[in-house]
Amino acid sequence: MIRRIKGIGIHDDPAPEYDAVIIGAGIGGLISANLLAQAGVKTLLIEQHYVVGGYCSAFSRKGFHFDAASHFYPLLGNRESMTGKLLEKLGIPTEWVKMDPVDHFHFPDGTRYSVPADFDRYLNELKEMFPKESANLDAFFTEVRTLYLLGLLVYFRGKTTDRLDAYKDQTLREALDRYFSSRKLKLLLTADCPHWGSPPKRISYVFDSMLRLSYFLGNYYPKGGSQAFSNDLAARFEEAGGDLLLRADVSRIVIEKDAVTGVEMELGPVNKRRRVVVRSPVVISNADIIQTASRLIGEEYLGSDYIERLKSFRTSYPCYLMHIGLKDTEKEELAEAQGYHWREWDPENFGTTGLKFKFFVPTMFDPSVAPEGSQVVIIQKAMSVDYDAVDDWDEHKAELDRMVLRNLNKLIPRFSERVVVQMSASAKTSQRYTLNQCGSMLGWEMSPDQLGSDRPGISGPVSGLYQAGHWTKPGGGITPVIVSAMGVAEAITKNRIL
C-alpha cells in the first residue's frame, strides 16, 4: 500500500524560517528529516521532483508499479540490525518481504546458481560445488566476517582500530585472487558486483564483505514497492511536524558572514514559478555534491581548487533500465530467468561486454505491484558510459532496447507478445529525475582510495552546512546512506541516535 503524503508547496508557501532545511528527499534526506523532526527541530524538506525517494521512488503505468531504481533493501526488515532498529524507533510502518533465495546467477556455460538466504547452507553448497577450494572458502569467509565487524566499527561507527590497516586498501579482485583459482567460483563470488556500479578491481574488499554478509541477515523488498517505503518516511516526517515541499528546486544556498543562513528556491506551478527564500542556520544537502558546491554555493565562494578536487573523484557507473508490464503470465514462468546473465567469465567488463543484464521480478515478492495475472519485469544493466560523449541518447537507449528484447525473447517464450507496458531509462533519465551527475548509481565509486578519510565528510565546506547521502561518508547504497543521515542528525542534535 502506498500511504498518501500531504506535501506543502506548489500552491502553498513554506514558513519564512526553520531550524533546519534539507535539500533533496532521497533516503538520505528523508531519514535526516525524520530524525530531526522527531528531535523537535523545526525542519523543511525540499524536493525538486513531484515524488519523494530519489533513487528509491517508483512510477505507475496501466496499473503496473515500477521501482525507478533500487529494489534490494538489505537489513531493513531485520529489527535486530542497526538500520532495522532505526526504522522501528522512527515508527516507519513499511512491511518487508524477505528474499530467499537472495539472488541468482547465470554463467557463461549455461549453468545457474541461486544464493540461499541461509549462510551455512550457502557455504556448504559452495564447498560441494568446488571441493578443491573448500579450505580456502573457510579461510575467505572467516576473513570476510572479521572485515564485516571491523568495517561496521570503523566506517559506520567512526571508531579507530589498526586491525583494518592491512585490508582497507584491498580491492575485491585482490582478495578473490589471493584465495581462489577457479574462475567459476571467482565469478560466483562477485557475480552481483554490478550493484556497486564499478568493477571488482575498484571495489573495496571491506565494504563488499559488509554487504556480502548483510544479505544473510536478511535482504528485503518493501511491500508496495520502493515508493511505499519512501512515502512512509515522508508521511511519518509530516506527522512529526515537518514540512515537505515537492517540485521545489533549490537554486542557491544563502551564505552570510561565512555561515549558511538559508536557501533560495523556485517553486509553484510550471506557468507561475516563483522564487522564495527561506531562512535557516542549518542546511543539509542530500543532493549531488558537485551540484551543491558549484551550482548551489559557487566557485566564487569555495574557490576552484575545492571544486577541482571534487571533480577528481571517480563516479560510480550509471544504470540502463527497462521497465516491463507483462500480461497473462504466471510468476513461475519467470522464475528461472531471474538474476544476472553473464556473458564472460571475467567480471571486470560487466559495464560493457561481460554481462547481458540483471532480470528482476518484483511481483515474486509482492504481486500487488501488477494487475492480477500480470507481472512486472525490471531489466538493469549498470554501464560504463562516457556520458559527455553520447550525442544521441535516444539512439543509445534504442540500441540497448533491441539487445535486451532480443535476449528476453530467447529467454521466455512469446515474451514480446505479452508486453503491455515497456519503457526504458538511460543514464540521462537518472540524471534528469535525481540530478545525480551522469546518472551515477551510488555517488563516488566505492573504491578503497575514495572511502574513509578520503571521502567528503558529512560536514560541508561552510559553517552550518551538512551533507547526507551517497556522495558523502560512509558511501553509496541504502545502508550507508542511512548511516550518513544518522551521522548528520547526531552532529546537529548532539544526541546519539542508537
Ligand X SMILES: Cc1cc2nc3c(=O)[nH]c(=O)nc-3n(C[C@H](O)[C@H](O)[C@H](O)COP(=O)(O)OP(=O)(O)OC[C@H]3O[C@@H](n4cnc5c(N)ncnc54)[C@H](O)[C@@H]3O)c2cc1C
Q: Which of residues 13-72 bind ligand X (CB under 6 A)?
A: 23-29, 46-49, 54-56, 69-72
Binding mask 417-456 for ligand X (x = CB under 6 A): -------------x---xxx----xx--------------
- Asked if 467 touches ligand X (CB under 6 A), the answer is no
Residue 343 neighbours by CB distance under 10 Å: 15
- In the complex, least distance from residue 403 CB atom to ligand X, rounded to whole angstroms: 18
Q: In what order do the strands lie in the sheet with 259-267?
A: 249-256, 259-267, 274-279
Q: Which of residues 131-190 bind ligand X (CB under 6 A)?
A: none
Three-state secondary structure call for residue 365: coil
The smaller minimum CB distance to ligand X, of residues 38 and 286, is found at: 286
Where does this chain touch ligand X (CB under 6 A) — which range of 13-21, 337-345, 446-454, 468-476?
Answer: 468-476
Distances from the Cα of 398 to the Cα of 278, 348, 402, 404, angstroms: 43, 25, 6, 10
The smaller minimum CB distance to ligand X, of residues 280 and 329, is found at: 280
- Beta pairing, strands 73-74 & 219-222: antiparallel
- In the complex, least distance from residue 481 CB atom to ligand X, rounded to whole angstroms: 4
Q: Which of residues 71-90 bind ligand X (CB under 6 A)?
A: 71-72
The smaller minimum CB distance to ligand X, of residues 76 and 137, is found at: 76
The smaller minimum CB distance to ligand X, of residues 380 and 407, is found at: 380
Interior angle at CA 475, CA 231 and CA 318, nearest 5:
75
Instruction: Please answer whether residues 164 and 150 qualify as being in contact, where contact means their C-beta atoms are separated by less than 8 angstroms.
Output: yes
The smaller minimum CB distance to ligand X, of residues 375 and 430, is found at: 430
Distance, CA of 180 to chain centre: 30
The smaller minimum CB distance to ligand X, of residues 179 and 225, is found at: 225
The smaller minimum CB distance to ligand X, of residues 185 and 289, is found at: 289
Distances from the Cα of 265 to the Cα of 26, 249, 255, 295, angstroms: 18, 5, 14, 12
- In the complex, least distance from residue 57 CB atom to ligand X, rounded to whole angstroms: 7
Instruction: Please answer whether residues 320 and 400 qualify as being in contact, where contact means their C-beta atoms are separated by less than 8 angstroms.
Output: yes
- In the complex, least distance from residue 433 CB atom to ligand X, rounded to whole angstroms: 7
- Asked if 287 touches ligand X (CB under 6 A), the answer is yes
Nearest residue to 211 (alpha-carbon basis) of 148, 149, 256: 148
The three cell numbers locating residue 208:
563488499
DSSP code per residue over 330-349:
-THHHHTT-EEEES-S-GGG
Size of the site for ligand X (CB under 6 A): 39
The smaller minimum CB distance to ligand X, of residues 171 and 219, is found at: 219
Contacts of 130 (CB under 8 A, 6+ apart): 137, 182, 184, 185
The smaller minimum CB distance to ligand X, of residues 95 and 333, is found at: 95
Residue recorded with cell 516491463: 324
CA distance 97 to 94: 10
Interior angle at CA 404, CA 401 and CA 405, nearest 5:
85
- In the complex, least distance from residue 415 CB atom to ligand X, rounded to whole angstroms: 22
- In the complex, least distance from residue 165 CB atom to ligand X, rounded to whole angstroms: 27
Where does this chain touch ligand X (CB under 6 A) — which range of 36-44, 133-141, 398-406, 477-485?
Answer: 477-485
Instruction: Please answer whether residues 461 and 471 qualify as being in contact, where contact means their C-beta atoms are separated by less than 8 angstroms.
Output: no
- Asked if 476 touches ligand X (CB under 6 A), the answer is yes
From the list 133, 477, 487, 492, which residue makes contact with ligand X (rule: CB under 6 A)? 477
Three-state secondary structure call for residue 480: helix
Q: Which of residues 368-427 bind ligand X (CB under 6 A)?
A: 380
* Contact positions vs ligand X (CB under 6 A): 23-29, 46-49, 54-56, 69-72, 195, 249-250, 286-287, 291, 319, 321, 380, 430, 434-436, 441-442, 469-470, 476-478, 481
